Amino acid sequence: MRLQRRSLALAITLMGTLLSVAPAQSASLTPELQKALDSSKYVYVQSARKDGTLGKPAEIWFMPYNGAVWVASPVTTYRVKRIQAGQTKAKIWIGKMDGSAFNAKGSIVTDPEVNKVMFETYAKKYSSEWSSYEKKFRDDLANGSRVLIKYEPAE
């Protein structure tokens, strides 16, 4: 009887440990949202202020990649400042302000490989404008005056 109680106690302890270290499931883009992202030229990013209200939407170039929306923004923008201050909530509108949208969590990422994919994507997606902006994007990401932001779907 004593052995059964110890076994039960051990099983409960192990179960609790496993549950506490299991990764949280994040939201993902629906096929409809992914399709809208794949066919849209712009997204509109609304980052959350300290009080939780959404700021003014900003039309921005973007790249859908690995289930997230990626943008490169100057460090002087509110979306970057808010993420740096720990306010990571945002709303992403796809294509137009009255179109499809999703709630997101933003994070600043440093990844030269993603930068490379972004440059290649922008060269195709924004082909008529890219030559005017390419050097600035590359230089600014290299010197830190622009950062890469990853917006992942959130509940």
What are 93-134's pLDDT values in tens digits?
Answer: 999 988 899 999 999 999 999 999 999 999 999 999 999 999
- For residue 17, is it within any domain? no
pTM exceeds cut of 0.85: no
Q: What is the pLDDT of residue 16?
A: 38
Look at the chain and report how many structural domains it folds into. Answer: 1
Helix, coil or strand: residue 150: strand
pLDDT band at 20 (very low <50, low <70, confident <90, very high): very low
- For residue 13, is it within any domain? no
Candidates 27, 34, 146, 49; CA nearest to 95 is 34
What are 45-94's pLDDT values in tens digits?
Answer: 999 999 999 999 999 999 999 999 999 999 999 999 999 999 999 999 99
- For residue 24, is it within any domain? no
CATH number of the domain enclosing 136: 2.30.110.10
CA distance 23 to 27: 13
106: number of CA atoms within 13 Å, CB side?
A: 27
Contact 79, 106 (CB under 8 A): yes
pLDDT band at 9 (very low <50, low <70, confident <90, very high): very low
pLDDT band at 155 (very low <50, low <70, confident <90, very high): confident
- For residue 53, is it within any domain? yes
- For residue 11, is it within any domain? no
Range(s) of the domain holding residue 129: 31-153
Average pLDDT over every residue of 11-23: 37
Q: What is the pLDDT of residue 57?
A: 94
- For residue 5, is it within any domain? no
- For residue 56, is it within any domain? yes
What are 145-154's pLDDT values in tens digits?
Answer: 999 999 999 9
pLDDT at 139 over 70: yes
- For residue 15, is it within any domain? no
pLDDT band at 40 (very low <50, low <70, confident <90, very high): very high
